[in-house]
Amino acid sequence: MATTLATAADSAVQAATSAARIEHVTKSFATPAGSQIVLDDISLDVAPGEFVTLLGASGCGKSTLLNLVAGLDHPTSGSIATDGRPALMFQEHALFPWLTAGKNIELALKLRGVPRRDRRERAEELLELVRLRGAYGKRVHELSGGMRQRVAMARALAQDARLLLMDEPFAALDAITRDVLHGELTRIWRETNLSVLFVTHNVREAVRLAERVVLLSSRPGRVAREWRVGIPQPRRIEDADVAELSLEITDQLRGEIRRHGKD
């Protein structure tokens, strides 16, 4: 089996130029019919401070790749190195319902080793960053879906990671709330200089957010094409330039889906 994780020394060197470096990664799973390749020879770099969206049809391996970068699973072959331990945000907020918004954030701070005396203040700062000032004492059931995702974002930021991995975090929200959170995420990314790797199947969302859009082919997932998005931020999902590039990417995505259907 090829190397699956970079050594500490390798990671330190690679972190100087990449927030995440994925080199020739393949992932397969055992099935009753035999080994099934989900990702095939994926190579991708995310630069420090870069916002990259990972796009593709359902089942192409987007979430699998994100889990590999997060360290939740290991590649069958290839290597992955990240600039420190990434923070991960899912489609479901995964907040603990018996804790308040603030205490959910404090738990991440505690796991990071932040002293007890400093946790409340830092949690309040993070809630203010995601524009939830005053929500420290609110329980999860008192928060709207959009507010819960803001708390989840604050909890991810509490990990003080330089790389934020996001797996369709806004997919379950209504269009207006999703649009608002697009704007908030863009603001936070610009204010914090985080690197972001964001998985979505929504083409307009990918173009709305990213500096670079990476399209994966249908299974097995390979890097089919990349686009640099030169549209100035802030963008709106209904902007003409966003719509034009989205149509071009959608045509490519449809081609991948048709190709997979013929395989």
Residue 148 located in a structural domain: yes
Residue 45 located in a structural domain: no
- Exposure string of 19-53, with b = 16+ CB inside 10 Å and e = fewer, is bbbbbebbbbeeeeeeeebbbbebebebebebbbb
Residue 207 located in a structural domain: no
- Domain ranges, residue 156: 96-160
The answer to whether 5 touches 79, Cβ cutoff 8 Å, is yes
User: Whole-prediction pTM value?
Assistant: 0.88
Collect contacts of 144-151 with beta carbons under 8 A, ≥24 apart.
Answer: 144/177, 145/172, 145/173, 145/174, 145/177, 146/173, 146/177, 146/180, 146/181, 148/93, 148/95, 149/93, 149/173, 149/181, 150/181, 150/184, 151/93, 151/95, 151/101, 151/104, 151/105, 151/127
Burial of 165 (0-12, 13-18, 19+ CB in 10 A): buried
- Residue 89: strand pairing partners: 166
85 phi-psi bin (left φ>0, alpha ψ -120 to 50, beta other): beta
Rounded Cα–Cα distance for residues 111 and 216 (Å)? 34
Residue 38 located in a structural domain: no
| Residue 217 DSSP one-character state | P
Residue 105 located in a structural domain: yes
Omega before 220 cis (within 30°)? yes
Question: Tokens 């249908």 correspond to what residue?
Answer: 218
**Per-residue model confidence (pLDDT) at position 219:** 79
Q: Residues 1-16: pLDDT tens digits?
A: 333 444 444 444 444 5
Rounded Cα–Cα distance for residues 223 and 112 (Å)? 34
Rounded Cα–Cα distance for residues 69 and 54 (Å)? 13
Tokens of 110: 């505690």
**Per-residue model confidence (pLDDT) at position 59:** 82
- Residue 212: strand pairing partners: 52, 228
For 7, other C-beta atoms within 10 Å of its C-beta total: 11
Rounded Cα–Cα distance for residues 199 and 213 (Å)? 10
**Per-residue model confidence (pLDDT) at position 153:** 92
- Counting as low any pLDDT under 70, the low residues of the chain are 1-16, 260-263
Domain count, the chain: 1
Residue 17 located in a structural domain: no
**Per-residue model confidence (pLDDT) at position 35:** 84
**Per-residue model confidence (pLDDT) at position 91:** 76
Residue 33 located in a structural domain: no
Residue 203 located in a structural domain: no
Question: Tokens 């609110």 correspond to what residue?
Answer: 138
